[in-house]
Structure 1
């Protein structure tokens, strides 16, 4: 029975649904935002829909039971979906290629690798991504994935590996993905001859694959990857574990079945046969599934997808969003952080440990590179911001398709050491002690006012205390005290120094500039006829020609003196 397009489309359109996506966080190669796309039902009992990877992110798209074997050149097709956001659109086309290289959407975008794409001139635009590509019998032969903005060319994803994943899902088994951290490209035989492919090898390959026009060669390698030092760009792949590998599908099938195992590769390099052994790595292990959010910035491990295009080592922390923490700096989306506060950050766990130990408003150094210029390293100083956002960690839950968040544990904060206060030098000629807060002058040496301009050295006043009280005394030798016969100071000079209303003139006792420590916690001394105040003129408690003066607790530090010194001026006058 021959079906018409009308009959087939009536059945297909009933299974096509419109999908609206709201992504609250940027991650890896994707931005946050809202968009529309298309999906279609492939299992009504389990409620399974099929769409593109970027449509259902972060949920892994399930592979379904489809007909990839019917994707042949010249097949008429229809793309049924929501083109340009319309409720329903049907685009017609004819399959032109089944071995097109995977389209390059940009160095910072998600790009497929190690797979062919299908091409047709259907004129699909945004909104139809994830639409089923059906033939006249209503069988899905491909998945609409992308198109050119200035042409009618559309690109479809083949479904061979999707069919394999769907069978594993039905069986309840995980879907392993293996990789050699190497990008291969399909190259025609004429270019392979320039790379050194031997004629006898070409004849054997054409006989083993009559419809083939070329072979796979090594295109890109990851520094430090599993094949770094074993393979080189331009190596021609012939066999894997003895099996002839002319295309991507058998290569991917062999890698997916050998995760964690060592395989043997047979190649040709410059016209010489070469055999190497390499261990197949788990592709899921180098795809990030956890991100850290701090200060509005989003960090996660550098993915193989982002490291593959610039060919940088798979180490460091990828900045998916700069946020409040890094937006004032030159760090933008796409930067790879190699060290924080002088500590290397090869992965997200190391970065979380360092960022969790920095206090709020603390400056820290960031060493990073831009993937657009990976050979140039930058150093920037950032400031920690914990005021509005707590540091949280989110991990993907494959069972529910969600990203539950939890506060990241706070480490012991690294506090900067405070400088110790300056210490006062010990007195050279005076001794101070404190055991009681009360002061009292010695009755035998209590100073009295006098109008005389001289005082004998033996009558040196000294502060003494009651038993257990604090005292400050010194033994001084006369040096510059005025003699008994020396004239009194000039009235102008005396008036400039005196603050008492008394008309008597006073003299100032000077001593050498030996300092002693001052205490700011002493209580006031008892009121006496001798008043002492701090000035930057005379040091207290030192030797001199006049009797040594004691620093009163009421003395204040001079603003021009050093914190460890106190300079005093004694004034004598008549009793009030």
Structure 2
């Protein structure tokens, strides 16, 4: 090899390996008397010291060796009917018999084995929503068919079950003990490239106010969470599950990449939802039995308050939790179980995440004076038959709006079912209609809708949203 070639090779190596390599090359080209120094430097090339200042160099590898076998890749398949305007034409089908009438859509996500003995896997609802077939690939390469156990769209938690053979699990931590600044590690399958580990810190806890994401009490982290990470594990440095990765925020869209704003469902919330889904297949939602509105500066002055912050109680339902606890219209709720309440959205979010039967201590202001009241959370009704509200609604069943829709700023109730030929059907109500207003009275949710029919209105008129259109529907 010529001398110029050797020199070029030395420069390339120096650029590739940085200071250590450059030092070694420089010393190697020095006169012979410098060779002892070269011998002293050579053993350090390509390796880090075992300790710094007497302390072993930290590594996440031992913890991850325990965690990663319990994080799985989730693959879903859904059959989607192709909307072909000629598909029902017999002549068209005879001429083109092989034109497909449906297509298979596939998606990828992640999941976490939390019970190896029973084969229970936690993931996000949006990962498996609408899937006809779900398979799980373990870190050892095995692919298993998953059985659907249950899911809760409002918290975006889903539970699956796989054959329990030689599985690993991640223990659930107390996510309530997390603090801003704690180190966390995200494990998942971003973009379907394979299991990937990213690290960061807890940027915030109890994060809410993200539009369209259901009930919210997120852990915010700057650990990279990208498409495909959904349903994966967020663990602490002890290898315990503190959260289920669920979303990332990027003004340019999720495919634009991670910008350090990732969100995870706290393990305590996921545990509560999973316990209910495994036991009954559904989630019982809590309710305080009241309606509230935002506190404006004018209302704050009228209520003798210095700070225009909190949720003003404008209705207390007879015989329900808030009524039993002694809440009154005009009370201003400023905190619940020590959690700051800035307005009705924050109160609604807090309320929906409380287990049925739990006690909630409300900090309120009544005529400007601070008070505390304890409310025992009762089960929130999920559906209600129209016949029990008004004969003109017979045959319709009403339900709460999906929480994601409510977080987008919509209030009201949704028509869940319609009996064919019933009075509600004859009046023009359809499944999926969102009732946003009624002549029976103002309401925000199912409880308010029910309360409006304490006295039947002489004329019942509903304002509904159907698709992208809004209209008035008289009920005869």
State TM-score, norm by structure 2: 0.47
Structure ID, larger Rg: 1
Structure with more helix by fraction: 2
State TM-score, norm by structure 1: 0.40
